[in-house]
Amino acid sequence: MFEISDLKAKKLPELQEIAKGLNVPKYKTQKKLDLVYQILDVQASNPKVVAEVAATKTEEKPRTRTPRAKVTQEDKKQENPKSSSTAETSKPDNKKPRSRPKTSNQGPAKKEQKSNQSHKNQNTNTNTSNTNKNHRHQKNGHDKSNFDKDLKNRYKEPEFEFDSIIESEGVLDIMQDGYGFLRSSDYNYLSSPDDIYVSQSQIRLFGLKTGDTVLGNVRPPKEGEKYFPLIKVNKINGIDPQVVRDRVAFEHLTPLFPQEKFNIAERQSNISTRIIDLFSPIGKGQRGMIVSQPKTGKTMLLKAIANAIAANHPEVYQIILLIDERPEEVTDMQRNVRGEVVASTFD
């Protein structure tokens, strides 16, 4: 039987010869320590084959470490008879003949002790090999689990907080249930992915109404949420929210005649805008209507008026609403007029 200390003391070619006799797979490519453990594994599973290989190896080349152990045991055994002989001399003479048969029977007792010690050494070697295997498997398991945890921690998505970072603006559209959405002008104030959710408590707190332009901070939606929620209101219609809270409703305002007019006969003007400014001037806040036959240039006249207002009154924010118009006219209005164009085409 092979011991782990003897196998570690051997060189790699000797271990490869032993592994060849035991039919260890891939013994030429393995390292020395792995080969030692493979031989011990085969020894634990097939002790008879290992005993035959060990016997052939001992016939070919005797071990170098075994005589040292025998010498030490013989020295100890030689010391023990000396101590027993000294003890016998101190005892009376009638007990001396009893010590002689003991010395005669020491030979087989020593052999039995040697055999017992060899069996114990074999058992301890097998136990140590099994424990080493278990330790190696446990270490490999712990290493794999730690490696998996490291990978999970390494490739785990980092958690970021984007609250109060994104600022957005939209026109409020209140639903029947009390909550609302801030619609985007990029989608003609219709429902879109850019909608911002406004809770019912925020609408009641600030006294918001349909059509209010709200500027505030939003956060990304969490799991289970569909829209970006509004978390802070900065301005309402360009005014502080504390001022807007105490405003008077539009239906309760007092109507007045316009006191200022638009100058549409100066920069970027043409004959049509000059005639309109002479005969029917347009006041700020005034309502007007153009009535004419089809294909007479109503859209072109509106375009000229809008460009004249944008050139002479930069403080005015224009919204041009086109309902049931052709898509070509909507595109032409968006390209040639400096203002916001909201359209709903017939298609």
Kindly state whether residues 58 and 133 are assigned to the same domain: yes
What local confidence, expressed as pLDDT, does residue 86 receive? Answer: 45
Nearest one of 204, 262, 270 to 233, comparing CA atoms: 204
- State residue 161's pLDDT score: 66
The reported pLDDT for the residue numbered 109 is 46
Give 235 or 16, the one with higher predicted confidence.
Answer: 235
Does residue 84 lie in a domain region? no
Say which residue, 150 or 33, is predicted with more confidence.
Answer: 33
43 and 115 together in one domain: yes
Q: Tell me the mean pLDDT in the region 72-83.
A: 48
Q: Is the dihedral of CA 208, 211, 214, 220 positive or negative?
A: positive
Query: Over the chain, what is the mean pLDDT?
Result: 76
Residues 55 and 172 in one domain: no
Residue 121: the pLDDT is 52
Q: Give the count of domains, the chain.
A: 3
Q: Which two tokens stand for residue 312?
A: 């002479």
User: Which of 224, 252, 280 is the endpoint of a domain?
Assistant: 252
For residues 36 and 118, membership in a common domain is answered with yes
Mean pLDDT, residues 19-23: 77
> Domain for residue 221, yes or no?
yes
Judged against a pLDDT cut of 80, whether residue 80 lies above it is answered with no
pLDDT at 85 over 70: no
Query: Are 13 and 144 part of one and the same domain?
Result: yes
CA distance 233 to 202: 9
pLDDT score of 89: 45
- Among 225, 252, 279, the domain boundary falls at 252
The answer to whether residue 72 is domain-embedded is no
Whether residue 150 is found in the same domain as residue 170: no
* pLDDT single digits (tens) 157-177: 556 666 667 899 999 999 999
Mean pLDDT over residues 133-154, rounded? 56
CA 259 to chain centre: 63
Return the CATH number at 235: 2.40.50.140
pLDDT confidence of 97, banded at 50, 70, 90? Answer: very low
How many Å separate Cα 51 from the centre of its chain? 56
**Poorest-pLDDT segment among 69-78, 124-133, 171-180, 212-221:** 69-78
pLDDT score recorded for residue 23: 76
Question: 144-161 burial string, b = 16+ CB within 10 Å, else e?
Answer: eeeeeeeeeeeeeeeeee
Nearest of 295, 292, 347, 344 to residue 320 by alpha carbon: 344
Q: Which residue has the higher pLDDT, 136 or 206?
A: 206
Q: Which of 295, 318, 163 is nearest to 230 (CA)?
A: 163
pLDDT at residue 127, as a whole number: 53
Pick the range with the lowest mean pLDDT from 2-6, 28-32, 229-233.
2-6
Q: 201 with 339, same domain? A: no
- Quick check: 84 pLDDT over 50? no
pLDDT tens-place string over residues 106-129: 444 444 554 555 555 555 555 555
Write out the residue range of the structural domain in which residue 41 sits. 4-64+105-154
Residues 53 and 128 in one domain: yes
Q: Higher-confidence residue: 96 or 244?
A: 244
276 band by pLDDT with thresholds 50, 70 and 90:
very high
Read off the pTM: 0.49
Between residues 105 and 15, which one has the greater pLDDT?
15
Tell me: pLDDT of 73 over 80. no
Q: Which residue has the tokens 């925020």?
A: 202
Report whether 327 contacts 335 (CB < 8 A): no
Candidate from 70-84, 216-230, 257-271 with smallest mean pLDDT:
70-84
Residues 294 and 337 in one domain: yes
Residues 139 and 170 in one domain: no
Dihedral sign for Cα atoms in the order 12, 14, 17, 18: negative
Q: Which of 206, 225, 252 is the last residue of a domain?
A: 252
Asked if residue 200 is part of any domain, the answer here is yes
Q: Mean pLDDT, to the nearest integer, of 93-106? A: 47
| 81 assigned to some structural domain | no
Contact 170, 186 (CB under 8 A): no
Is 53 found in the same domain as 141?
yes
Whether residues 139 and 207 share a domain: the answer is no
Tokens 């152990």 -> residue? 69
